[in-house]
Structure 1
Amino acid sequence: MKSFKYFFRGNIEHNNFIMFGRMHLFILFLMAIISIFILIRKIENRKIELFIGVILILQQIILYSWYFISDTDLFKEALPLYHCRVAIICIGLGLILNQKYIMKLGSYLGIFGSIAALLFPGLDPFVFPHVTQFSYFIGHLFLLWGSIYLLFVKNIGMTIVDFKNTIIFINVFHIMMAILNKYLGSNYAYISSSPINIGKSLNQIIYTVLVMMIFNLVLFLEYIFINKNIALQKKNKFGDVSLKIKIIE
């Protein structure tokens, strides 16, 4: 019981996680090896989809349960308004409910956000072990694997309409977060300051515009890469069919 209470403690301490230390390198190795496995196997399976979806939603439920029982400022810290939280909820619900549109939005935001978050973790100030640390890494790992599965196994794709809608969504979202952060003193979507102390010397408006430009660029590159990948797979598929027909002839 004491161990359970310690795991879910709420008193602020300090973060003792060592970036690129042994534990971090193990997590990155796990991230890479399972990502490669998903890309190589390319098996579409409804049970896998439900498993990933349930894990992501459970991760959010446990995290928000802790927020409610701890002394966390819910409005300043706990609203689901970070990129990865939006992506986790979209992919989780999308996979469980089999809703392609929110799967797309979640995976477009999730693949870039999860990689950045795993490479440069922004953990809450607690000494290991703590619920927020497990939640952080489980959430971002499954977000990455879910995004890879959707984009490169399920091939949900990104049409020009999807691209336009996602660009509109992310820019409106960033503008709203800039306004909300100003009134709450928060840093949702990291639109007010960088989680890895880059750009601290920049003017606030310049920093915000820069973040928005980076996300627009990333989404554009995803659009190009994803469509090239799908086109290549279709070409290979039709090539295999043509080869089989020739053999039969």
Structure 2
Amino acid sequence: MSDFFSNQISEAPNLNVLEHLFLMIIWFFMLYLCFRCYQKRWFHIVFWWLQFIQIVSLYTWYIVADFPLSESLPFYHCRLAMLFILWAKPGPLKRYFAYLGLFGSLAAFIHPVFDPFAFPHLTFFTFVIGHYALTVNCMLYLLSDLEGEMLKGKEVVKYTLIMNMLILGVALLTGGNYGFLRQAPLVNSTNLPLNFFLVTCLLCFSILSIQAMLIAYLKKESKQMNSQILKK
């Protein structure tokens, strides 16, 4: 049990192909559950509390383990999305972070970056459970906010620029790699302006794309339901 809460840095878990595929399949299953259960109040409550417990567990451990500010602040994109999706008031900003959380959770499982602690460790489970809960909570909010206005391109760019400038400022002050803005993992770049540009463009494109796909899907489902009603 001491290894589960250890603060001794070792090696991050290294997933094989089947383990990676399994995590991805569960992610898509979480989306499926959202569409099946989004009208059920208990489903919302379960995943809200799951996210809450995950956040409290992780940050309690950070404090107890005396983890450095360069890694323990909530300035990764997904962690910001977790906070907003749990406590922000409904509106464009919360909708923005819901789309951000959907993309961020998918990206987290496509290219998982675990903390450098051997499995099994608390940080592995908070990473996995936290991103699944984020997926569900973001999708539940979007499905429950169907009357909300679409995010405009200018809004998405504005929110993303402000957020990334804040994240970059914190990263520079603490020496961390928040938002992967100081060192981008896939392109392995340490060029700050390039990383900022690439991450900002990727987030804007992804958020607008997910919004367009979700709206198109919901319109298609609505037409099918209307046609079935007319046939009856």
Give TM-score scaled by structure 2 length: 0.87
Which runs of 5 or more structure 2 residues have no equivalent in the other structure? none
Query: Helix, strand or coil: the match of 1:100?
Result: coil
Q: Displacement of 1:21 after TM fit?
A: 4.1
Q: Displacement of 1:61 after TM fit?
A: 0.3
Residue 23 (structure 1) aligned with residue 19 (structure 2):
yes
Q: Displacement of 1:138 after TM fit?
A: 0.3
Which position in structure 2 is the counterpart of 1:216?
204
Residue 131 (structure 1) aligned with residue 119 (structure 2):
no
1:91 and 1:70, CA in 2 relative to 1: closer, same or farther beyond 3 A?
A: same
Letter aligned with residue 85 of structure 1: R
Q: Distance in 2 between matches of 1:201 and 1:80?
A: 23
Q: Distance in 2 between matches of 1:43 and 1:208?
A: 35
Pick from 1, 6, 14 the counterpart of residue 3 of structure 2: 6
Q: Displacement of 1:67 after TM fit?
A: 0.2
Q: Displacement of 1:134 after TM fit?
A: 0.7
Q: Distance in 2 between matches of 1:38 and 1:50?
A: 13
Instruction: Write the mapping of 1:66-105 to structure 2, written as runs, cut at 5 A.
Output: 66-73=61-68, 75-93=69-87, 99-101=89-91, 103-105=94-96
Q: Distance in 2 between matches of 1:145 and 1:161?
A: 20
Query: Helix, strand or coil: the match of 2:3?
Result: helix
Deviation string, structure 1 residues 70-93 (Cα, Å, up to 9, x no partner): 1311x2111111111111122233
**Count of residue pairs brought into register by the alignment:** 231
Pick from 136, 139, 143 the counterpart of residue 148 of structure 1: 139
Letter aligned with residue 23 of structure 2: I
CA contact (8 A) 1:90 1:106 kept: yes
Q: Distance in 1 between matches of 2:182 and 2:148?
A: 29
Which position in structure 1 is the counterpart of 2:226?
238
% of aligned pairs identical?
24
CA contact (8 A) 2:183 2:191 kept: no
Q: Distance in 1 between matches of 2:153 and 2:211?
A: 7
Which position in structure 2 is the counterpart of 1:45?
40
Q: Displacement of 1:163 after TM fit?
A: 5.6
Letter aligned with residue 197 of structure 2: V
1:25 and 1:223, CA in 2 relative to 1: closer, same or farther beyond 3 A?
A: closer
Q: Distance in 1 between matches of 2:165 and 2:113?
A: 22
Cα-Cα RMSD:
2.4
1:186 and 1:236, CA in 2 relative to 1: closer, same or farther beyond 3 A?
A: same
Query: Greater RCO between the two (CA within 8 Å, min separation 6)?
Result: 2
Query: Helix, strand or coil: the match of 2:109?
Result: helix
Instruction: Write the mapping of 1:174-189 to structure 2, written as runs, cut at 5 A.
Output: 174-189=164-179
Q: Displacement of 1:171 after TM fit?
A: 1.3
Q: Displacement of 1:22 after TM fit?
A: 4.1
